[in-house]
Structure 1
Amino acid sequence: MAGKARLTAERLHTPPGGGRFAISRLALGLFLVDQDRHRIAVGSDKRQHVPLKAGEGWILPAGAAGICEYDEALSFLRLEVPENLLADVGFERHSDFRPVIGTFDPLLAQLAHQTVSIAGHASALYGETMQLALAAHLAQILAPARPKLVGIDDKRLHRALAYIHENLSTNLSLEDMAAEAAMSRFHFARAFTRALGKSPLQYVIRERMELAKLFLKTTRLPVASVAARVGYEDVSRFGQHFRRHTGRTPAAFRAD
């Protein structure tokens, strides 16, 4: 990353108070202590009371400004991600998302902790790998691929797609997906297949494999952990699906 802006990652301790903020780069903060009396306003002066627990926090787009206040001492992780790093992982619309305040994605929290812990201490290669992993997962969270759908069931299918992408690591069922779309299982399966050219099951497998590819290339998670994070309790079944999807085993794909 020579000659490029670098990601900044730090652990901060601040007294009660807070105040106005303005950020120039995509930024995230992860609280390390509970803040029951936390107030925040983004893009205005209208503060909202948003209690945050340790492990929760915020993700704000570049250019965000507002007010953050808290009545107790605060310990938190703060990371700012430069535009060139986001471009490296294909995140082109990194200033075009709604601020995220509250629950933190578990893997993103883990990556944030690791990135802060190695800041200034790890080898250049390992540091860059962690930064890419963090940026890639941010892109996955903030700008997940959504197929363009047309037709009378467009909004209902979009709800189902959002539900699928938010629950790839869980035991997704046709009944749950159909319920999210407010359709019968038969009607949902038929409408989904007609709109996307794949059955719900085929679509879920494909999206899980794409997410697995991201984890394998950008993290050092064991294959069994990757399998679990994309919804597979059976590692051998995950390997079968991955090989069918990519033509390679997970280990071979990671080594390429």
Structure 2
Amino acid sequence: MTDDRFEVFDSLRQHNTRLLDHAQLGNGTGLAAWYNERDLIALENADHHTLSLYTADGYQSYFKAGDGWHNGGGPDRLCLLPQQYSSTWDIRGPLSFVHLYFTDQHLRQLAEQTWDRSPLNLSVNERLFADDPQIALLYRHFLLQANWHDNSDQLTLSSASSLLLSHVLRHYTQVNWQLPGVTGGLAPHQRQRVCDYIEAHLDQPLPLAELAMQCQLSEYHFARMFKRSVGLAPHQYVMNRRLALACELLRNSQISLQEIALRCGFSSASHFSNRFRQAMGVPPSGYRSSVS
């Protein structure tokens, strides 16, 4: 990781843990996918929080408590490790897992933006081998389905991480505030402004915070008001607009698929082709042939 440094990430790299993928999400958050087996790991006093989801195996993952070793791991089990938390792990069998790292400053900022007030204290509760279907759903259907390095998926990643951390705030801290209700959509001028901004920047990553800024709203309020106004979540709308532009360029130009991919916000022609085929039922080259 190049921008934010995460101590748990750095510590795991000193062990047998094999790094499968990692990405910076910005604002003090990051992702890492790992595989491990037959390893003894001590994690101490990290200056950030870690939300871990077991994605495969983990049945022989043991945590050292005061009365000995305990396990309870398995697919979709989560571990939430607060900052300044020390723990020792004995990984006796195969384990695949994904970490979301986030700073206390980012979590507090999210709370202030969402509820328009600041918690007097903010402490994250430890959880080990816990079940939370909402967290598992957000990991598997958004974080794990996205390409962490493609510009076109950055909005999906930022939206999913925002939802995850809002869930952590509500269920794993002492804040316990009800989420504010959102009854209306964007004002016409807000909708026009953000839609124009999206059209002018389809070749850019367009993270959720950037779109919310166009309407001077928190990420939480913007995402819900946008969906109420447009009928689609921001990441769905933006992907539709990227693919619509791609169709136009395929019909009316002879530029290469790589150039079309870049103009539509995809970092590679292969990722563009995969997404186009999923949405349209044919690859871009097939679509171009059919309309030429």
- Taking a change above 3 Å as real, the CA distance of residues 139 and 146 of structure 1, as seen in their structure-2 partners, is closer
Amino acid at match of 2:168: L
TM-score, normalisation: structure 2:
0.45
8 Å CA contact retained: 2:123, 2:173? no
Superposed CA offset, 1:118-139 (max 9, x none)? 3222444443222211211111
The structure 1 residue matched to 2:132, chosen from 105, 115, 121, is 105
8 Å CA contact retained: 2:25, 2:158? no
Superposition pairs for residues 43-82 of structure 1, below 5 Å?
47-82=68-103
How many angstroms does 1:145 deviate by?
5.1
Superposition pairs for residues 207-246 of structure 1, below 5 Å?
210=179
Q: Which has the higher contact order (CA 8 A, sep 6+)?
A: 1
8 Å CA contact retained: 1:25, 1:61? yes
Q: Specify the alignment match of 1:230 in structure 2.
A: none
1:115 equivalent to 2:143? Answer: yes
CA distance in 1 between partners of 2:35 and 2:26 (Å):
28
SS at match of 1:132: helix
How many angstroms does 1:81 deviate by?
1.3
Q: Specify the alignment match of 1:141 in structure 2.
A: 171
- Taking a change above 3 Å as real, the CA distance of residues 117 and 10 of structure 1, as seen in their structure-2 partners, is farther
8 Å CA contact retained: 1:26, 1:95? no
How many angstroms does 1:15 deviate by?
2.7
8 Å CA contact retained: 1:58, 1:100? yes
The structure 2 residue matched to 1:40, chosen from 63, 80, 99, is 63
Superposition pairs for residues 125-164 of structure 1, below 5 Å?
125-143=155-173
8 Å CA contact retained: 1:26, 1:81? yes
Amino acid at match of 2:125: R
Q: Percent of counterpart pairs with the same letter? A: 12
Q: Specify the alignment match of 2:108 in structure 1.
A: 87
8 Å CA contact retained: 2:169, 2:176? no
8 Å CA contact retained: 1:79, 1:112? no
8 Å CA contact retained: 2:32, 2:98? yes
Q: Specify the alignment match of 1:155 in structure 2.
A: none
How many angstroms does 1:9 deviate by?
1.2
CA distance in 2 between partners of 1:129 and 1:66 (Å):
30
CA distance in 2 between partners of 1:51 and 1:28 (Å):
16
CA distance in 2 between partners of 1:253 and 1:127 (Å):
17
Q: 4+ residue runs of structure 1 moved beyond 6 angstroms? A: 250-253
Superposed CA offset, 1:82-137 (max 9, x none)? 23431232175786243101223111122223234432224444432222112111
CA distance in 2 between partners of 1:70 and 1:94 (Å):
34
CA distance in 1 between partners of 2:111 and 2:36 (Å):
34
CA distance in 2 between partners of 1:108 and 1:17 (Å):
26
1:19 equivalent to 2:41? Answer: yes
CA distance in 1 between partners of 2:121 and 2:139 (Å):
18
- Taking a change above 3 Å as real, the CA distance of residues 39 and 212 of structure 1, as seen in their structure-2 partners, is farther
8 Å CA contact retained: 1:30, 1:55? yes
8 Å CA contact retained: 2:135, 2:164? yes
Q: Specify the alignment match of 1:182 in structure 2.
A: none
1:7 equivalent to 2:36? Answer: no
Which consecutive unaligned segments of at least 5 residues does structure 1 have? 148-206, 217-249
Amino acid at match of 2:106: L
Amino acid at match of 1:8: G
TM-score, normalisation: structure 1:
0.50
SS at match of 1:33: strand
